[in-house]
Structure 1
Amino acid sequence: MRYSALLQLAIGLFSIGNVFANPCKPRSATTATSAATDSTTTSAASTDYSVTSSFVAETLTETSAVPTVETSDSSAMIETTATSDTIVLTTAESTGAEPTTTEAATTDFTTTTTAPATETTSDAPMPTFTMVVTRSGPVQGESLQSENRENSVAAFKVNYPGWTARTYTIDSQGRLINDQGWFLCGRYSANYFELKKPAAVSLCSSETPLQAAFLNCRLSDDLEVQCSIPAISCVAGQDFFSFPTCIPADGTWDIFSLGQSGPGNTLQIGGSAGSAAYPALSIGIQKV
């Protein structure tokens, strides 16, 4: 009986203890951890921009979280401390404008230089030759002779000492020049009786206006010597002892003829009117 009463007393005390103990029971560690997680504070990264007139400075803030864990007898708390690293990036930009890229315009020019076309004509060298009468007449086939002196007339069939057939060529100016360096000129011979008399062909070293002119010559395709001198026009003097007065005239004199003078048969060159009284001559060449 006493044992039964003690047992009931013990059960009753245990029940009373449970009733008073339940409201004050602490939360479990798992619940505390969850609550701490809910209350975690995170600092977000921020970006600052500093703009200048010639550069843009970008400030990037990188945030890292370092967790701190605190524990107690009744709960486990997790706190997060935010630390920031700041990186400044500088780029060359204009204020308030987006970055631009400028490319220099490049233009390629192709210059083509064309050299002017040139024609090169290579004329055959002028031959050296003797001058020979080709037309029939008293001096046909005869070579032109002269002395080696200024003003010597050119003649045919001369038997005087010192008269020889000379070789000739035509220089770049069209002048006939012999192997002794003398040119052939037309020496004007007008007189009181013959105002249009042909000029006598003679040796010379220079020209004298209205007195002597270089023969201007060329070789034709059939190797005939064709020459000319400036034409003149003359008027008679007061008497036959006076020299005519002559002036330049239009055109040229270009007819060879046979004249008569001191050594004999001389070569002349004149116009058509003045040469009519003289036998015409054709002069060819014999190359040497």
Structure 2
Amino acid sequence: MNLANIKVIKEILEKNQTFAKKHFGQNFLVDQNVLNRITETAEITPEDDIVEIGPGLGVLTQELAQKAHSVKTIEIDRNIIPILEENLQTLTKEEYKKIEIINQDALKYEPTFENYKVVANIPYNITSPLITHFLTQKNKPSSLTLLVQKEVAEKLTTLEPDMTVLSLQTALYAEAKYVKKVPPSCFFPSPKVDSAIIKITLRSPQDKNFVPEETAKKILQIAKIAFSNRRKKLSNTLRNLKNPKTDLPITPEELLQVSEKSNLDFARRPETLSVKEWQALAENL
């Protein structure tokens, strides 16, 4: 069954008297070239265990089942699951056996197996929390290959001097790469914005840019305060920090000492700091 064909999708929806639900972010992918680029970017092998988020009608699920060792696909919309199961029946028995459909909120899903990859056309309204969920949980994936809103893809892959909290968080745990722009015409129904494929590759402890978990958490705590007002300088926003030893608001004198020890000019704004500079700041607080 060609689930990348708009006519086929319309027939399936009409047959089942249903529609793409906006509150679930359902925009079905209808471009085989984009599907191919997603699976190529994910570098799927026959040994790979895959987690897919939001399978919808199963267009990407089919591709994953043909290439991977197993596919756990997480779908929050229980009403679409019977349709998904029926669509996947067109796979071979061996391919179909690889798939496990889980009716759950992806933000609450925690894989019990290791060395997995996330590959998904994700609902745009949960992009940031979903990436945060997988980057910060104990059992992290080796990579995430995602189709997301283009604006978010650009922000996520942009570091200093235009860094955001999300791009900093991603950079602390992984390397993020912008792969390809995907226009609205590649979906049904068509969204109002461009999309993009990104790949986030998690760093191993052997990586020279690896940041220990506790350090990453501390940096993010500081960053959320520093980014609370992007227009303000660090000297202003960091005044809201507390001294970890006394649990009292940090004094101007203490802030000056941190600036000197970190070799940072606090007249700068948070988006201009590199990951290494954030590490220096965290180490000296």
Q: TM-score range by the shorter chain?
A: under 0.3
Between Structure 1 and Structure 2, whose CA radius of gyration is higher?
1
- Provide TM-score, normalisation by structure 2: 0.21
- Provide TM-score, normalisation by structure 1: 0.20
Relative to its length, the structure with more helix (as a share) is 2
Relative to its length, the structure with more strand (as a share) is 1
